[in-house]
Chain A
Amino acid sequence: QVQLVESGGGVVQPGRSLKLSCAASGFPFSSCTMHWVRQAPGKGLQWVAVILSDGRTEHYADSVKGRFTISRDTSKNTLYLQMDSLRTEDTAVYYCARELNAFDLWGQGTLVTVSS
């Protein structure tokens, strides 16, 4: 079954860290560009980061640059997002998405709440 399943969300205090995971199945994960996209409560979609299939090329939104790190483990078919120095404005549902053609496959999302 072709799917993406996110995990790792939860409630965290400002300034702390959290690591999200996205398990991929049913397609050749190692050859796909992968993204993280987030959506704050009641707001629109915001692109967060991308990692190319080479595993080395990464790009980030200005709002998370220097704080978030995207990575992938092709042996586990898993995408990660390490989030450090979290801020209240990082509160959102975080989706992983595949880019075969734009954002053609999405997970169900995992909620991250940054609050004291």
Chain B
Amino acid sequence: QAGLTQPPSVSKGLRQTATLTCTGNNNNVGNQGAAWLQQHQGHPPKLLFYRENNRPSGISERLSASRSGNTASLTITGLQPEDEADYYCSAWDSSLNAWVFGGGTKLTVL
């Protein structure tokens, strides 16, 4: 099953802003939006946003999510060392009857 497209890596400086992208199609991201997850090395993933821009309780307001057409974006402002992690997007694909994930973006905070 075709997955979502994410850049493999993004590097930004401390206190800067990083925007991560996730591109799908009309059957997944363009349909119901994407979810975003964060994974630190050796730990299970953690949900950051669901259905495009809904933030679970406890998620920092430095993080925001949006969508334009078939591309979802995750923006992190005021980057901190603890933001260094792998970030995944995911969406339900209505044509495949399957969830699809992006390949993940490794965010490095310099």
Contact = CB atoms under 8 A, between A and B. Distances in A.
A52 B22 CA distance: 26
Nearest to A96: B44
Interface of A: 35, 37, 44-47, 50, 59-63, 95, 101-104, 106-109
Contact of A101 (B56, B88, B100): B56
Interface residues of B, number: 23
Contacts of B88: 44-45
B50 A102 contact: yes
B102 interface: yes
Given A102-B90, A109-B44, 10 more contacts: A37-B45, A44-B102, A45-B90, A47-B99, A50-B99, A101-B56, A102-B47, A103-B35, A103-B37, A106-B45
A108 B56 contact: no
